[in-house]
Each structure stands twice: as C-alpha cells, then as structure tokens.
Amino acid sequence: MSKGKRGSDSSPLPARVGPKAAEDEDSKTASDGSGLTLRAMLPNAITAAALCAGLTGVRFGIESQWAYAILAVMLAGVLDGLDGRIARLLNAQSRFGAELDSLADCLSFGMAPALILYMWSLQDLERFGWFAALGFAICCALRLARFNAQIDVEDQPHKSAGFLTGVPAPVGAALAFTPCYLWIETEMEIFRDPLLLSIWVGLIAVLVISNMATLSWTAIRPHRDIRLWLIALMAIGFTALMLEPWWTLSAMSAGYLALMPYALFKYGKVKRRRANKAIIRQAE
C-alpha cells in the first residue's frame, strides 16, 4: 500500500483502503495508524461484489437469459453506487480504492455489456458487430483511465462546476441496453436488428468518451417549492420500476438523453460567468 501525505510531524500516514463515492467526489485518505481493519475492507468487498455481479451477467448472457444478464449488470451499478458512499461514511477512501473501483467498472460496465450485446444481437453482423462491441468496451476503459489520470489534477473545469466529463460508465451501460429493454417488453425484432444496434452502441460509446459536460447529482439544485413534488415523483418512479421495469428503464434512458442539452446549456452559463470574472480581474 502506498504512503499517504505527510502530516505536520513529518511521519508517514498509511492510507486506508476504500473506493471513491462517485466521479465528482475527491479521493481522500485517512488513518488512525492501526493498519487495515474490517471497516476499511468493507467498501472494497462491495466493489468486488459489483465485479462479480457484472461478470455473472456475462454468464447469463452465455445461457441466453437476457433479462437476468441485464439485471446482473444493473445490480453491479447499484453496488457501485453503494461502495463509495459507505467508504466515505466510514472514512475509508483512498487511491487504492479508486483504482479498484475503476477496474471493476471497466469490467462490469464496459466489457460485460459489450459481450452481452454481442451475444444478444451483434454477432449476427459478422465483423462489424464485433467492432461495435470492442469500441464500446475500449471507450469505457479509456474513460476510466482518463479519470484515474486526473485524480490529482487540480484544474478540472467540469468537476469544479459540479459536472461530469462525458457519460459515466454505469450510465453508459444502462443506455447501451435500451434496445434490450424494449425488445424484452415488446418482442419487436427491430430492436434486435444488429445494424441498428451497432449504430446505437457506437453513439453511446462516443458519449462515454466525450469531453462534453454532463449532469451530476452535485449540479442538481431543485427549487424549494418543488422538492416535495420531486420526492413524490421519485417514489412513483420506484414503484413503476418494480411493476414495469423495462418500460421504466427505457423512460429513464430517454430522460437522461433529453437532459444532456440542458447540461450543456447550464455549463455554458458557468463558463461565461467565469470568463466575465476573469475579464474583471484582469481589468483591475
């Protein structure tokens, strides 16, 4: 385990083990000098469980159990959201955890969806279908490598404004599966068309690796007057997810894509505000 930053007494502080909570949160180190404890190991155990869920999705795909394959990847996404928050709650975040979390994300949300989609439909398009699956997996890996490379970078305009850069890996996997949701619900073969699916997967891969600003939870500031309505809407959405999961997931994918132009507009306002402040400072 690598050493953390030195304190005022110049003594090394070993970093605890734990994944990050989200891409828009800072990695932190903490230790009481007592070594690795069960509390510090718990977040990484959840990360490992997320990895197992993603790879189990591939097994279900091999067995042509498509609904279970998708749900296994979705479970990996839920665990991926929990591990970092638990790490932050337990004060057990570190660079090691961020690296482990990114490796798990690459497998669960890059390689696993690519293989599942290939076995589901893309293999019928011969070489081009495999290229589409490879492209999605590679873009996911490149995105996560970019994130790791920028962990210690101070100047991150998107992050400092409360935005993400590109579509997060778990969201990218959920978006890539959208034709599967519709096919499971409607059994219409057009959603399983390998050519259309290749184009769709390619577009999502571009969004994953793009430099465009996308919304994060920290950028959402609902007005006080609508907060109760939003809570009620979230409760209704959760109920819909239980009763009509595939239609609800399709609607969530459509809603996320529809909000992307809003994210660009909102970040554009932030950029203009920053530019005006810089001009004022130079004038002074």
Is 251 within a domain? no
The encoded tokens of residue 247 equal 């239609």
pLDDT at 222: 66
pLDDT at 219: 61
pTM of the shown model = 0.80
pLDDT at 68: 96
Label each residue of the chain as H, E or C.
CCECCCCCCCCCCECCCCCCCCCCCCCCCCCCCCCCCHHHHHHHHHHHHHHHHHHHHHHHHHCCCHHHHHHHHHHHHHHHHHHHHHHHHCCCCCHHHHHHHHHHHHHHHHHHHHHHHHHHCHHHHHHHHHHHHHHHHHHHHHHHHHHHHCCCCCCCHHHHCCEEECCCHHHHHHHHCHHHHHHHHHCCHHHHCHHHHHHHHHHHHHHHHCCCEEECHHHCCCCHHHHHHHHHHHHHHHHHHHHCHHHHHHHHHHHHHHHHHHHHHHHHHHHHHHHHHHHHHHHC
**Do 176 and 113 contact (CB within 8 A), yes or no?**
yes
Determine the residue type at 158.
Answer: H
Is 169 within a domain? no
Is 18 within a domain? yes
Sign of the alpha-carbon dihedral angle for 165, 171, 177, 181: negative
Domains contained in the chain, number = 1
Domain containing residue 23: 13-94
Is 28 within a domain? yes
Is 22 within a domain? yes
The Cα-based distances of 196 to 179, 199, 201, 226 in angstroms read 9, 5, 9, 39
- Per-residue pLDDT of 150-188, as tens digits, reads 766 666 666 656 678 889 999 999 999 999 999 999 999
Is 189 within a domain? no
- Phi/psi for 79 (5° steps) reads -65, -35
Q: What is the largest CA-CA distance in the chain?
A: 68
**Do 48 and 82 contact (CB within 8 A), yes or no?**
no
- Phi/psi for 163 (5° steps) reads -115, 165
Is 200 within a domain? no
Would you give the end-to-end CA distance of the chain in angstroms? 48
pLDDT at 157: 61
**Do 16 and 93 contact (CB within 8 A), yes or no?**
yes
Q: Which residues of the chain have pLDDT under 70?
A: 1-37, 151-162, 218-222, 278, 283-284
pLDDT at 5: 39
d(CA 167, CA 169) in angstroms, rounded, equals 6
Is 218 within a domain? no
pLDDT at 28: 47
